[in-house]
Structure 1
Amino acid sequence: MLAPEVPMSHSVAGEPSSAGRRAAPLTTAVYTVAEWDLLTALPGRVIVAAAVPGPGRPHPGVAAGLAGLDAVAAGRAFDSDLVRAVVAAIYARHDGVADPVDRRTDVVDLLAACRDATRVLRRRADPADSAAYRQWVQSVAARVCRAAGAPGLPPAPADRRFLDRLGGALGLR
């Protein structure tokens, strides 16, 4: 049985339709439901992982979580149809209905999910969308780590290691 697919694409020229809005984008890549779920869940998983205290990592506090949510929302302004569509899907999924969240985060599983997402994007996404998505996910983690640290100080060594490992898993290093 084939999994349902979710269309995704770059828009033609971003020209507005007759109603004054942007025309619906043409389909250039298709994601299965499992692939789309991976792409839309990854930013939230990154926030949780970046906000988990641990050895060499102070308790990040509420500010770190809020910084992550702000970084996700900032994706609405990205020059990437994929990033904007992922943000829209995240907001649509969380329209007032709270999902049960497992606060335990296994960084090894997160990094594996990042590598899986990177493979999906390389196979199916426009290269510019792929790069924008991966950089956006990395920026979400960086903003959480920055907010978790002391103002004016560089990130803690544990945060730098986490960001380096995440960047490697996302194919950015």
Structure 2
Amino acid sequence: MSQTGSPDLPEAVPGAGPATTAGYSAAEWRLLTRLPGRVIVAATTAGPDNPVRAVTEGLAGLDGIAAGRAFDSELVRAVVAAIYAESDDGRSAPTRAEHADAGQADLLAACGSAVRALTRCADPADSAAYRQWVQSVAARVCRAAGPDGRPRPFGDPVDPEQRRFLDRLGEALGLRPAG
């Protein structure tokens, strides 16, 4: 996939890392690096409330983020590197209740903002790879555990709430037509 920035311009987003950040504002880069984590939280809130399930799903989401290191996209690899490079800034992750109160509308709006930034700054292949990777993170979360928290058997369908979430996320990421 082509490079989305010049190696001579690493300062395009101060402290953001690789040249693939060129062209993105600091806010856009932050959006791209935080969106996968927000998707994990939203996906875990899309199913039944079960602490064991939430842990299983959260770990599956982290595994999905880590899988981005092997993507054939400089952008996805740069985002994963930035996620791992972020230092703990003392803020805690939102709780399930806080996220449910905020609703999925904010996340879906953030996906739309990310798609616009990608359209403006990334080549089409990197844009598609990033959007598919974010969707794959959500899919891993939703497929990780059944309602009882145990690992979901291969091929077992996800819960209807999670299916609706995945469909809406796919629409917001421009991966499927709006239904």
Q: Which residue of 2 aligns with 1:37?
A: 30
Q: Which residue of 2 aligns with 1:109?
A: 106
Q: Which residue of 2 aligns with 1:69?
A: 62
Q: Which residue of 2 aligns with 1:82?
A: 75
Tell me if structure 2 keeps the 8 A contact 1:11–1:81. Answer: no
TM-score norm. by structure 1 comes to 0.79
Q: CA deviation at 1:171?
A: 0.2
Give percent identity, aligned residues only. 66
Give the Cα–Cα distance (whole angstroms) in 1 for the partners of residues 43 and 164 of structure 2.
11
Per-residue CA deviations over 1:43-66 (Å, capped at 9, x if unaligned) read: 000000101255xx3533311100
Runs of 4 or more off by more than 4 Å in structure 1? Answer: 25-29
Tell me if structure 1 keeps the 8 A contact 2:46–2:165. Answer: no
Relative to 1, partners in 2 of residues 1:64 and 1:128: Cα closer, same or farther, differing over 3 Å?
Answer: same
Per-residue CA deviations over 1:34-83 (Å, capped at 9, x if unaligned) read: 000000000000000101255xx353331110000000000000000000
Q: Which residue of 1 aligns with 2:124?
A: 127
TM-score norm. by structure 2 comes to 0.77
Query: Are 2:42 and 1:49 aligned?
Result: yes
Tell me if structure 2 keeps the 8 A contact 1:28–1:126. Answer: no
Give unpaired runs (5+ residues) of structure 2: 8-17, 147-151
Query: Are 2:84 and 1:91 aligned?
Result: yes
Give the Cα–Cα distance (whole angstroms) in 2 for the partners of residues 28 and 143 of structure 1.
26
**CA RMSD of the aligned region, Å?**
2.4
Given residue 101 of structure 1, which amino acid in structure 2 is its aligned partner? A
Q: Which residue of 1 aligns with 2:160?
A: 157
Q: 1:100 aligns with which of 92, 108, 114?
A: 92
Give the Cα–Cα distance (whole angstroms) in 2 for the partners of residues 10 and 141 of structure 1.
28
Give unpaired runs (5+ residues) of structure 1: 1-7, 13-24
Given residue 168 of structure 1, which amino acid in structure 2 is its aligned partner? E
Per-residue CA deviations over 1:128-159 (Å, capped at 9, x if unaligned) read: 00000000000000000001323242101111
Give the Cα–Cα distance (whole angstroms) in 2 for the partners of residues 47 and 115 of structure 1.
17
Greater fraction helix:
2
Give the Cα–Cα distance (whole angstroms) in 2 for the partners of residues 131 and 102 of structure 1.
28
Q: 1:136 aligns with which of 120, 133, 136?
A: 133
DSSP-derived class of the 2:112 partner: helix
Greater fraction strand:
1
Given residue 160 of structure 1, which amino acid in structure 2 is its aligned partner? R
Per-residue CA deviations over 1:85-117 (Å, capped at 9, x if unaligned) read: 0000000004x6653212222211000000110
